Amino acid sequence: MREVTHFIGGQKVVGTSGRFSDIYDPNVGEVQARVALATEAEVSAAVENAKAALPMWAATNPQRRARVMFEFKRLLEANMDELAELLSSEHGKVVADSRGDVQRGIDVVEFACGIPHLQKGEYTEGAGPGIDVYSMRQPLGVVAGITPFNFPAMIPCWMFAVAIACGNTFILKPSEKDPSVPLRMVELFMEAGAPEGVLNMVNGDKTAVDAILTHPDIKAVSFVGSSDIAQYVYATGTAHGKRVQAMGGAKNHGIILPDANMDQAVKDIVGAAYGSAGERCMALPVAVTVGQKTGDEFVERMLDAARGLKVGVSIDAEAHYGPVVSAAHKAKVESYIQMGVDEGADLKLDGRGHTLQGHENGYFIGPSLFDHVKPGMQSYEEEIFGPVLQVVRAESLEEAAALPSNHQYGNGVAIFTSNGRAAREFASQVNVGMVGINVPIPVPVSYHTFGGWKRSAFGDTNQHGPEGVRFWTKIKTVTSRWPEGDIGDQAFIIPTMG
């Protein structure tokens, strides 16, 4: 059976723990590989290799670091088909969606190619008599990233591309559910010219996570996953003196006003709600309709659109989405559907029990749609992370806007309207980190920054973009003076800038 290894010190390393996690093919529900789960000693070995590589890499000028990023970008593009097919085989998303996952990662690598400019500091000439002041952005040291299963190409690039471009060395701990693409990307990064030890990868579970969070030589940790784990990562990492950004769960809302272009709203929301089987932290699982007429029309048209979706295997070019990632996750999503029924929501479309001929053991769930969902229902308050759309009815924009603002999650929100003033005020006032105006999935481009509010994010710095450069660097400010001749006792006086 194929075994996914660690990658430490520039080479693949077979795990020694004796503990393994199975990697499934979600299309057929069968084990296709296994991955070794790291020990604390293996994490420490990765850290030691990263420490050894750090002085040379941190001293490498940013232009040369950028050249590695340019070559890495080229290699990712050249290997797009291989990466997308490998990703689909372990995650379950259709190949077209997997290509988008890889492309989003490439976009961040492309942003990181600009590090000679991005890492520049500031300079003030003549801040005082003969005194200049300047700042430098310097790498933190050995840093780490812990990434989720749902975007095994994009999210690692969010982290290590920017961190390494800034001069840090990196430990990547990907999800044990689909680690093959991260491993292949690490190999390509080394092929791009990165020195041994600059990027290391350890696979594992909580043992590896805790080893990363408590290791004294790891200076910063970036995390994406569920909110409960994000809160744990943030609390544990900061308690051990680390800089931490920890992105959590989401329950994104899409508000449809009576003046919205209903054709566009339905088309956008059906993709945002059901694409990638809903396994996206920027999916749109809640539609909030304003006014009875709007709600009735939206539900009727959304039902037609959802019934027209094709659920298929990952390699089916005509499928809109594939299976969810695991049997356990399928059971969890289906339990939330039953929970919604028990809570009194109106189940208009039930995706449970969906099977494909020849793939009866695959982890497929058909599109599900609830109407008349109410705030306070557990199925509304919690993240389902599956192909389930919940419709909440509201009588006014104020009532609708209060729903995402008051929800425990604050990742993303969208509004569909033809009223520019209403959209502008909504974007300014809603208590959510990322806003779409007639855009269903408001994921910022790579040169902006990604991050939610409330229980969707712990820490005060977002992913990638300029915020990413700030997270992965520390600033040093230098005040300099070059006096002429003997200054005598003046050497003991702190200079003023007046």
Q: What are phi and psi of 337, to 5 degrees?
A: -65, -45
DSSP per-residue letters across 121-178: --EEEEEETTEEEEEEEEE-SEEEEE--SS-TTHHHIIIIIHHHHTT-EEEEE--TTS
Place of tokens 């520390």: 474
Partnered with residue 7 across adjacent β-strands are 12, 201
Distance, in Å, from the CA atom of 364 to the CA atom of 373, rounded to the nearest integer, reads: 24
Residue 296, φ and ψ in degrees, nearest 5: -65, -45
Q: For the chain, report the end-to-end CA distance as a whole number of angstroms.
A: 72
Q: Most distant CA pair in the chain: distance in Å?
A: 91
Two tokens at 396? 């006014």
Burial (CB < 10 A; 0-12, 13-18, 19+), residue 55, is: exposed
Q: Which of the residues 113, 157, 166, 281 is marked catalytic?
A: 281
281 among known catalytic residues: yes
Residues in the chain: 498
In angstroms, the CA 102 to CA 65 distance is: 21
- Contact indicator for 213, 363 with CB cutoff of 8 Å: no
List CB contacts of 99: < 8 A, sequence separation 6 or more: 80, 84
The count of other CB atoms within 10 Å of the CB of residue 342 is 11
- 75 residue type, one letter: L
Cα distance between residue 371 and residue 296, in whole Å: 10
Number of H helices, E strands in the chain: 17, 23
Q: 9, 295 in Cβ contact below 8 A?
A: no
> For residue 38, what are its two tokens?
């790291």
**Phi/psi-derived region of residue 141, left when phi > 0, alpha when psi is between -120 and 50, beta in every other case:** left
State the Rg of the chain over Cα: 25
Sheet strands side by side (includes 131-139)? 123-128, 131-139, 473-481
d(CA 271, CA 473): 37
Give the residue numbers annotated as catalytic, written as ranges: 281
